[in-house]
Structure 1
Amino acid sequence: MESSSSSKKKKKHFVLVHGLCHGAWCWYRVAAALRSEGHRLTALDLAAAGVHPARVDEVGSFEEYSRPLLDAVAAAAPGGGGGAPPPPPPLSLALAMERFPEKIAAAVFDAAAMPCVGKPMGVTTEEFMRRTAPEGLLMDCEMVAINNRQGAGVAINMGPNFLAHKYYQQSPAEDLALAKMLVRPGNQFMDDPVMKDAGLLTNGNYGSVKKVYVVAMADGSSTEEMQRWMVDMSPGTDVEEIAGADHAVMSSKPRELCDVLNKIANKYE
């Protein structure tokens, strides 16, 4: 039997970051499992997502969108956080890694957009769109006109068929129903200066944080080829695979994802 001090040492603080149009609510299965194992947990809503009070057109920059995460990581104990973002974007995790590398023991990209040092963060989203056939890219998603401090633009509202066939096709029906009710329009901020800055992510900060990429093997949105391309762009990234996982890994394979997170937590102190 482990001593109480040994057991306490292995407990970690996980920071769970949602993807585009989603919110902290999408982590409910994983959050319950991690808490039952004694881990500390922060599942947060980025600006204008989940139950955050702002509207999408009130969030004027990617920095402002990412602020809830940046504030949470800034307040965390050094080395105590594990980040696990679901569907791409957000790229907010990469921004937090660049700003606070000493606060993050390991960053877990769960079938998510993972940028690399030396290229703009927006390259991953552009490459994803380039590799996806136009007829299957957006399906019944709606483009919502917005006007914020950066000027006129569009946000994306995920359609029910897109969610069913691209994100949640392997997930329980109740998780798909929940997503259909709770998704909100999301802004990819492709014209934001942060997305275009090739020097933003540095070897000394972002590159110094251990990265683990979780490949969702049954992902209907981002292909395995695309996911492994991102891994190849960041040499040294560890890879975990989850068979039968769709894009919403936290819904389709929550137990398997928790096992991967626990494995990573035990490996990286």
Structure 2
Amino acid sequence: MAVTDKPCKHFVLVHGAWSWFKVATRLRTGGYRVTAPDLAASGVDPRPLREVPTFRDYTGPLLALLGSLPPGEKVVLVGHSLGGVNVALATEMFPDKVAAAVFLCAFMPDHTSRPSNVLERFIEGNWLGNWLEYWMDTEIKPQDTEGKLPTSMLFGPKIIREKFVQLCSPEDVTLATSLMRVSSLFVEDLQLQQPYSEGRYGSVRKVYIVCKQDLAIAVGFQRWMIDNYPVEEVMEIDADHSVMLSRPDELVRCLVDIAESYA
């Protein structure tokens, strides 16, 4: 794929650094700078989930990255799935470091409700259909008897195959199932946080990329989030939830267009 050579433009891809290997390679080949940090207790980060009690702790590596950028440098910040909430928090804290926030079939908070609201709407609404059928073989359980730590979840191979990577190659399915780690939605902690502000998070330009065959975050819910919190631009890809694996070329084209328009 031909990608316009713009080496000064920097993409930060969140979350799950391993999952971006196809997209990162294509962007770097085109001359872009790409950083895909592992969040706390994710990927190669050695910490277990019990040592990451808050969503801010979980987002810590991304916040440290943005805080280390030199004055005047802005990035195109891309959040996938739960990574949309990480992007929202990072944008709230470093709005001057973000040229555009991209929500890729991702949870997108608004700036009038607590950041947990978008997750609660998804869980409590009719977007999932039958609750037990949706979660399939996901293990969801408390980490401690006192309830001080966020509920943990580990996606099993069945839900990964059928809802996350149904359009991916067998090799990518094997990769995804082998690298999955225990994580959390951090709903309990996000319920305690104040809404992100209009003057910071709300001031950054946003693009939403809808994945039209997503069975993990229903397309109807993606469109509800866009209606609830309008963005500058909406793009669509005919892809499953793991679009960076199943449709990397289409995703790169979208990201390059965003960089050319907003960075």
TM-score by shorter chain over 0.5: yes
Residue in structure 2 matched with residue 169 of structure 1 by the alignment: 166
Confirm or deny that 1:257 pairs with 2:255: no
Structure 2 residue aligned with 1:143? 140
List per-residue Cα deviations over 1:17-57 (Å, max 9, x = no partner): 01xxxx21011110100110011111011000000010011
Answering whether residue 87 of structure 2 is matched by residue 63 of structure 1, we say no
5+ residue gaps, structure 1, are: 1-5
Q: Distance in 2 between matches of 1:103 and 1:140?
A: 39
Distance, in Å, in 1 between the alignment partners of 2:176 and 2:25 is 18
CA offset at residue 158 of structure 1? 0.5
Distance 2:178 2:43 in 1: 11
CA contact 1:89–1:188 (8 Å) conserved in 2: no
Q: Please give the secondary structure, in 2, of the residue aligned with 1:112.
A: coil
Residue 191 of structure 1 aligns to a residue whose secondary structure is: helix
Decide whether aligned partners of structure 1 residues 218 and 116 sit closer, same or farther in structure 2, where only a CA change above 3 A counts: same
Matched with 1:3 is: none
Greater shift, 231-240 or 176-185, is seen at: 231-240
Deviates more, 1:247-256 or 1:150-159: 150-159
Residue 107 of structure 1: how far off its partner (Å): 0.6
Provide the secondary structure at the position in 1 that maps to 2:188: coil
Distance (whole Å) between structure 2 residues aligned to residue 56 and residue 90 of structure 1: 19
SS at match of 2:118: helix
Letter in 1 for 2:23: V
Query: Per the alignment, in what secondary structure is the counterpart of residue 14 of structure 1?
Result: strand
* Counterpart position of 2:235: 240
* Alignment check: 8 A CA contact 1:16 1:41 kept: yes
1:125 Cα deviation (Å)? 1.0
1:34 aligns with 2:31: no
Distance (whole Å) between structure 2 residues aligned to residue 236 and residue 87 of structure 1: 17
- More deviation in 80-89 or 122-131? 80-89
- Aligned residue for 1:132? 128
Question: How far did 1:7 drift?
Answer: 5.0
Name which of 26, 44, 47 aligns with 1:51: 44
The superposition leaves residues 38-83 of structure 1 with CA deviations (integer Å, 9 ceiling, x where unpaired) of 1111101100000001001111211111100001111224352111
Deviation at 1:144, TM superposition (A): 4.1
- Distance of aligned partners of 1:28 and 1:100 in 2 relative to their CA distance in 1, 3 Å threshold: same
Q: Secondary structure at the match of 1:85?
A: strand
Gaps of 5+ in 2: none
Contact kept? 1:144, 1:185, Cα under 8 Å: no
- CA distance 1:83–1:89, shift in 2 (3 Å): closer
Counterpart-to-counterpart distance in 1, 2:241 and 2:94: 28
Q: Does 1:14 align with 2:11?
A: yes
Please give the alpha-carbon distance, in whole angstroms, between the structure 2 residues aligned to 1:63 and 1:119.
17
Match of 2:186 among 179, 182, 189: 189
Q: Aligned letter for 1:113?
A: F
CA contact (8 A) 1:111 1:216 kept: yes
Change in Cα spacing, 1:237 to 1:196, as seen in structure 2 (3 Å) is farther
Task: Give the paired residue count.
Answer: 256
Shift of 1:128: 1.3
Query: Which residue is 1:180 aligned to?
Result: 177
Contact 2:5 2:31 in 1 (8 A): no
